[in-house]
A and B are shown apart, each in its own frame.
Chain A
């Protein structure tokens, strides 16, 4: 059974710093991995989608990497801003069906 873990559960970082969020998964037979952002009381906004054959995706100040063999993905945020404060979740879609499993998220707080 696929399990997705995100560490740390919470993170506070001064504005302007670069930071890395971690996601690990137990079953490497994945179809893709997706990073989301969630603001309090809201739905999820998709940030980056990495297919299993890809190693990274970039969008603006965000870069997501995928190492399928070790069961790890990272989300790198450059030059953090207070507006980046949110909960970041990673989700994995398996190869065998369309089931998508989420981690519990990392709650990020950027200090002005």
Chain B
């Protein structure tokens, strides 16, 4: 089955601790994304990566870090510097704009990780 997996589904963290959220895809997509969703809000972009070993900050990157050492994996670390980390975190992937076929560039999402800071 092709798709995106995120683990764990629920995560609890004590204040002051760093925590890493996992995102893996087997769709052979070049681009991967991390979003944060708060109640009643849309999705806000944290970081995105268009290619291995490269990534760009989104709109709310402060207090987060990422790595892209492999095409399939894009882990997100929520650091203790993030002031309000409790949220629902969603990972997504897509092909990049360089591929022009009409079916490309559709974005696919994982099931999400709900992080709660105690």
Contact = CB atoms under 8 A, between A and B. Distances in A.
Contacts of A103: 42
B72 to A, nearest CB: 17
A42 interface: yes
Interface size class of chain B, counting residues whose CB lies under 8 Å from the partner chain: 20 to 34
Contacts of B58: 99
Q: Is the interface of A mostly helix, strand, loop or mixed?
A: strand
A34 B43 CA distance: 14
Interface in A61-112: 89, 91, 93, 95, 97-105
Contact of A44 (B45, B97, B109): B109
Interface of B: 6, 31, 33, 35, 40-45, 48, 50, 56, 58, 88, 90, 92, 94, 96-97, 102-103, 105-112, 114
Given A89-B42, A93-B105, A105-B42, 18 more contacts: A6-B42, A32-B105, A34-B106, A36-B109, A41-B88, A43-B110, A44-B43, A44-B90, A54-B102, A93-B97, A98-B97, A99-B45, A100-B33, A100-B45, A100-B92, A100-B94, A104-B40, A104-B41
